Amino acid sequence: MEHIANITTGLDIAQIRKDFPILQQQVHGKPLVYFDNGATTQKPQVVIDAEARYYEEYNSNVHRGVHHLSQVATDAYEKARHIVAGYINAAHSHEIIFTKGTTDGINLVANTMSRRFLKAGDSVIISSMEHHSNIVPWQIACEEAGATLKVIPITEKGELRMDVYESMLDDTVKMVAVTYVSNTLGTVNPVQDIIALAHARNIPVLIDAAQAIQHISIDVQALQPDFLVFSGHKIYGPTGTGVLYGTTEWLNKLPPYQGGGDMIKTVTFAKTIYNELPYKFEAGTPNIAGSIALGTAIEYLQQIGLPEIQQREEALMAYAMQELRKIDGIRFIGDAKNRSGVISFLVHNIHPFDMGELLDQQGIAVRTGHHCTEPLMDLFQVPGTVRASLTFYNTKEEIDKLVAGVKRAASMLL
Ligand code: PLP
């Protein structure tokens, strides 16, 4: 347990860290200090076990067999869907579509939405701080429909220009797709206002919750997005898993994304009747083990308690910012009032890759580069940044090591 007044929560972090086998290892002879949680989070043993248990004890396809193993697998897979629905307070579990991840979910919506609802002269609104996966699918959709992609500008601090956003909402807009939390700046966007303003004009909204779902409590019935997407691997679950939440109304209005097994009710060569929700959007054999283990990851998080996690992460962020600010020549990329999980910075004119490599030699994992937000890098006129992304299992001591590591790297590189 840490004895730091502002970081101590009810959580026994030393004990919790033992749940994550990977955190016990050494890198380059130093204890691993993992600050790349924005890219992917580490997995607790219960998640690893849940995935293994499926293959060891009940590996079988879902929704297909009457035999015992298939029933067990189907029950576990559908239980995971209920866990996800409960976690985000979806009104119905059929509003939870299992996907490969955030990218897959956005592509699903952009593709099906544009096929049915986008035409020449229409427009789609995204923001300047989107991940490539919330830019490119909409570019493709707009190109194919002859529609225009419009981009909400941001301030120097990395906050959305809500006044400009409001003025952009005209009759041509058929979709708004924005990130809840920026993976590069850490900015927490006012998604409630974004949704309310769009809904006042009957425009649907997709929220990219890839960097929010693991840090912020989300109640989709209160927030009322039409779509919300996230990746399992960023919330302590397996890679290749994810969730698309959509309202029953919208999911019923959209055409299927992919055709194949499971998404059909009946097939003849003349005509196919599609399956009901959620199966209409889950063509083929899904990542059964992964989705089951994603359910376990969410249960693990719920056992620790999202409010406690949030409180700890806020304290860690505040401490990290306070200590990093003391470094000579440091410049933060993004300094929003409301932020979560992510700190992007540069020190003097040191290239982020050089800084990243020297930190790695000290056992400290940070992300360097454009973070899949190249347009944002262009806006800030930087080649990339060093990004430290925190989560609840990080410690004050690790932040101290990061700060010391950055100082040491700077002294070697300047
Ligand atoms: N959106 C945001 C904000 C992200 O941070 C990421 C991943 O870093 C993605 C989308 C894409 O997630 P995935 O690669 O898991 O599909």
CATH of residue 312? 3.90.1150.10
Dihedral pair phi/psi, residue 371, rounded to 5°: 55, 35
Q: What 8-state DSSP symbol labels residue 181?
A: B
pLDDT tens digits, 120-132: 999 999 999 999 9
Shortest CA distance to 310 belongs to which of 205, 181, 198?
A: 181
Are residue 194 and residue 239 in the same domain, yes or no? yes
SS3 168: helix
Are residue 310 and residue 199 in the same domain, yes or no? no
Are residue 377 and residue 344 in the same domain, yes or no? yes
CA 172 to chain centre: 29
SS3 378: helix
Are residue 67 and residue 132 in the same domain, yes or no? yes
Which residues, other chains included, contact 324 with Cβ-Cβ below 8 Å and sequence gap of 6+? Answer: 330, 332, 343, 345, 402, 403, 406
Are residue 92 and residue 209 in the same domain, yes or no? yes
- Ranking 10-14, 63-67, 136-140, 234-238 by mean pLDDT, the lowest is 63-67
- Looking at residue 331, what is its pLDDT? 96
Number of structural domains found in the chain = 2
Distance 238 CA to ligand 1 centre (A): 14
> If pLDDT is split at 50, 70 and 90, which confidence band does 2 have?
very low
Are residue 311 and residue 294 in the same domain, yes or no? no
- SS3 track for 190-252: CHHHHHHHHHCCCCCEEEECCCCCCCCCCCHHHHCCCEEEEEHHHHCCCCCCEEEEECHHHHH
Look up the domain containing 264 and give its range.
48-302
- Looking at residue 65, what is its pLDDT? 78
As a whole-number percent, the residues of the chain with pLDDT over 70 amount to 98
Shortest CA distance to 281 belongs to which of 257, 253, 302?
A: 257
Residue 200 burial by Cβ neighbours in a 10 Å radius (0-12, 13-18, 19+): exposed
- Looking at residue 8, what is its pLDDT? 63
Pocket test for ligand 1, best of 103, 180, 182, 241 (most atoms within 8 A of CB): 103
Cα distance between residue 104 and residue 179, in whole Å? 15
Distance 206 CA to ligand 1 centre (A): 14
Concatenate the DSSP letters of all residues of 67-80 into one string: SHHHHHHHHHHHHH
Cα distance between residue 27 and residue 34, in whole Å? 10
- Ranking 6-15, 152-161, 345-354 by mean pLDDT, the lowest is 6-15
What is the model's pTM? 0.97
340 lines ligand 1 (CB under 6 A): no
Shortest CA distance to 177 belongs to which of 111, 120, 94?
A: 111
Total number of residues shown for the chain? 414
> If pLDDT is split at 50, 70 and 90, which confidence band does 3 have?
very low
Q: What 8-state DSSP symbol labels residue 10?
A: S
Among candidate residues 372, 379, 382, 404, the one labeled active-site is 372
Pocket test for ligand 1, best of 104, 106, 133 (most atoms within 8 A of CB): 133
Are residue 211 and residue 269 in the same domain, yes or no? yes
Are residue 251 and residue 322 in the same domain, yes or no? no
Last-in-domain residue among 278, 302, 326: 302
pLDDT tens digits, 94-104: 999 999 999 99
Structure tokens at 353: 């890759």
Query: Catalytic residue at 142?
Result: no
Cα distance between residue 302 and residue 236, in whole Å? 12
Shortest CA distance to 322 belongs to which of 256, 402, 264?
A: 402
Residue showing tokens 């035999």: 67
Last-in-domain residue among 258, 278, 302: 302
pLDDT tens digits, 174-202: 999 999 999 999 999 999 999 999 999 99
For the CA of 183, the closest atom of ligand 1 is: 5
- Looking at residue 10, what is its pLDDT? 81
> If pLDDT is split at 50, 70 and 90, which confidence band does 64 have?
confident
Are residue 325 and residue 186 in the same domain, yes or no? no
Cα distance between residue 124 and residue 205, in whole Å? 10
Distance 193 CA to ligand 1 centre (A): 23
Q: How many CB atoms lie within 10 A of CB 188?
A: 21
Q: What 8-state DSSP symbol labels residue 284?
A: S
Cα distance between residue 88 and residue 293, in whole Å? 17
Are residue 195 and residue 80 in the same domain, yes or no? yes
Last-in-domain residue among 302, 324, 344: 302
Q: How many CB atoms lie within 10 A of CB 166?
A: 14
Pocket test for ligand 1, best of 134, 183, 236, 367 (most atoms within 8 A of CB): 183
> If pLDDT is split at 50, 70 and 90, which confidence band does 4 have?
very low
